Amino acid sequence: MTKKEADFDLIVLGAGSAGLGLALFMAKADMRVLLIDRTAQDVGGDCLNHGCVPSKALIHASRQVHQARQATQFGLQVSGAADMAQVMDYVQSRQAIIRHHENPDYLREQGVTVEIGTPKFVGEHEVEINGRTYRGRKLAVATGSRPKQLQLPGAERVQLYDNQHVWDLRHLPARLLVVGGGPNSVELGQAMQRLGSQVTIVHHGPRLLEHEDATISQVLEERLRAEGLTIHCNAEVVSFSSATHARVQPKEGAEFGLDFDIGYVAIGREVRFEGLQLEKAGIEVDEDGHIKLDEHLTTTNPDIVVAGDAANSLKFSHGAELHMRLLVFNFFSPIKKQLDYDHFSWVTFTDPEVAHFGLDEPELKKRARATSGGKPTSPTTTGLWLMSTATAGCCCSSRKTCSPSPARNAGFWVAPWWLPAPAS
């Protein structure tokens, strides 16, 4: 397709981390870019609206409260719970700072055409929105994901929140039930406990943070219990007998009840493409409804790519940024790069923080690479956890061992090991 035959050089569906980056970069490269999202409030994606930004602001507030409570040796006496309305006002103030440069008007000032509405494909290069059809030489699907819902008997009578709605809370619940044992669950659970809730976590798996080393999970679980959280692993919420009572079935033992005031559900995320009419664009999906992609994030339509959570891989905002950088490179280079997660990292911002980078030991063994592990040492008297000096996650040539590390400011310490990694 020639440039004259298209309305835009690139049409991007979704204004989250991946879509924003793609649209802004291509506009600065003097490309004609159309960026589409369902509502103006959705611009910025999950990171700004429901994920990274509000959660880290909440964690910061909870740490200030926790540190104040720990200062009794200095003569400070703190009692009671935090004012949740003020906490959420602080969270929203942090979001407002970033919204200054993640909103439709700002994007238009940067040369990006922005349409707000519900899009659908009507051809291999055409998208319809608000009754108009736009034709693009290249198109990108970056429509994100959404939290999975808890489908249980009695759930309709319970106040259940997920990461999209918990930021509407204006009153601190006395008792919070958290369903799930992943990063969102432990981050929010610890934060709410520190703010003054009594938190109970129920997780169907054998331990918290199952993607991390078992020792790391144990360290974190011990810390959370020490702070007063109640944790039930190998257990599932099976029903709600009232608005404030859950029935829990452990894998071993008898069913028991739990009283709570509100519930927070973090049992994973799902990717859905209802209404997009992928088939009209020549985009094939697998039996689970996920878009079929090659190693370059290209669909079965060679002019349409996918980025971010919509690609159904690692669902992190910086994962979406990784996709964006790969796509930008491949848009302009005759030699295409392949997607590579070997040097990918992430951090769970509990206290202690848990940093993970590189390949874990099972994957290294699977690839027949030699490794000595990167196991944590014992804690020091200050509570700071250190890496073993055997490998410490450092690079040996281009091969990197995995080092899951629980530590104070682990997110800072992981950067020097991750950043020097070769791109691919």
Distance of alpha carbon 350 from its chain centroid, rounded? Answer: 14
Residues 6+ apart with CB under 8 A from 392: 374, 403
Residue 14's alpha-carbon distances to 123, 157, 216, 295, in angstroms, are 18, 33, 35, 21
* Tens digit of each residue's pLDDT (9 = 90 or more) over 246-297: 999 999 999 999 999 999 999 999 999 999 999 999 999 999 999 999 999 9
d(CA 121, CA 52): 30
Closest among 404, 406, 405, 400 to 418, alpha carbons compared? 400
For the chain, what are the domain ranges? 3-44+102-145+271-332, 155-267, 345-418
Looking at CATH, the fold of the domain delimited by 155-267 is given as FAD/NAD(P)-binding domain (3.50.50)
Sorting pLDDT into bands at 50, 70 and 90, what band is 411? low
Domain 3-44+102-145+271-332 shares a fold with domain 155-267: yes
Pairing of strands 262-265, 120-121: unpaired
Average pLDDT over residues 418-422: 48
How much is the CA Rg of the chain, to the nearest whole Å? Answer: 23
Kindly state the tokens that stand for 232: 């039930």
Give residue 392's pLDDT. Answer: 36
In percent, the amount of the chain with pLDDT more than 70 equals 85
Domain 3-44+102-145+271-332: CATH superfamily is FAD/NAD(P)-binding domain (3.50.50.60)
Lowest average pLDDT, out of 44-58, 225-239, 303-317, 396-410, goes to: 396-410
242 phi and psi angles, rounded to 5 deg:
-155, -175
Give residue 79's pLDDT. Answer: 84
74 phi and psi angles, rounded to 5 deg:
-100, 5
Conformation bin of residue 44: beta by default, left when phi > 0, alpha when psi is -120 to 50: left
Q: Is the pLDDT of residue 357 over 50?
A: yes
